[in-house]
Amino acid sequence: MVRVKPVFGMLGKTMPVPRLECLYGDKGCDYIYSNSVFLKPLTWTDSLTKLRDCITGLTGYKFRIVIGNQYRSGIDSIGWHSDNEPSMGFNPAIASVSLGSCRKFQIKPISGRPTDFWLEHGSLLVMHPGCQSTHLHQLPKTNKVVSTRINLTFRPHTGGGR
């Protein structure tokens, strides 16, 4: 996996993203999030293509990009957010595969209480259409000693607006 260490902008400041990221996908399926991090897709590898097609077979959802996140230790994380970037179209289905260390994943209604899931090696979590409009999710930091975890989120890409 090729990894980048992007920075994102908030309140006029730039800060490092607390994880490593990469994007694979169809040609031209560029991805931007938080109005500041720009990812250009690398060409699908054979393994990622097989995994994508297998998840499509299981779920019926089609995907054009996959974002890889590497959490190097418990300090790496992703804060509360929804995956609502316009490039994925309205109400995207997102399939998330976890590899490596088990980490806590939390999901909550926009103004509700979180539910915890422990995402084990080899698990598949599917966020169905609608989820990104009504819920937020995060992978919090942890004080526990954990080694590397890789997360792959398979996503649609419509190229533009809603």
Ligand X SMILES: O=C(O)CCC(=O)C(=O)O
* Contacting positions for ligand X (CB under 6 A): 67, 69, 78, 83, 96, 105, 119, 137, 139, 151, 153
Identity of the residue, 44 or 154, whose beta carbon is nearer to ligand X in the bound complex: 154
| SS3 assignment, position 92 | coil
Spacing of C-alpha 111 from chain mean position:
21
Residue of minimal Cβ distance to ligand X? 151
Closest distance to ligand X from the beta carbon of 125 (Å): 7
Distance CA 19, CA 136 (A): 19
Identity of the residue, 27 or 81, whose beta carbon is nearer to ligand X in the bound complex: 81
Closest distance to ligand X from the beta carbon of 83 (Å): 5
Contact by Cβ (8 Å): 64, 25: yes
Closest distance to ligand X from the beta carbon of 127 (Å): 9
Provide the 10 A C-beta neighbour count for residue 153.
Answer: 17
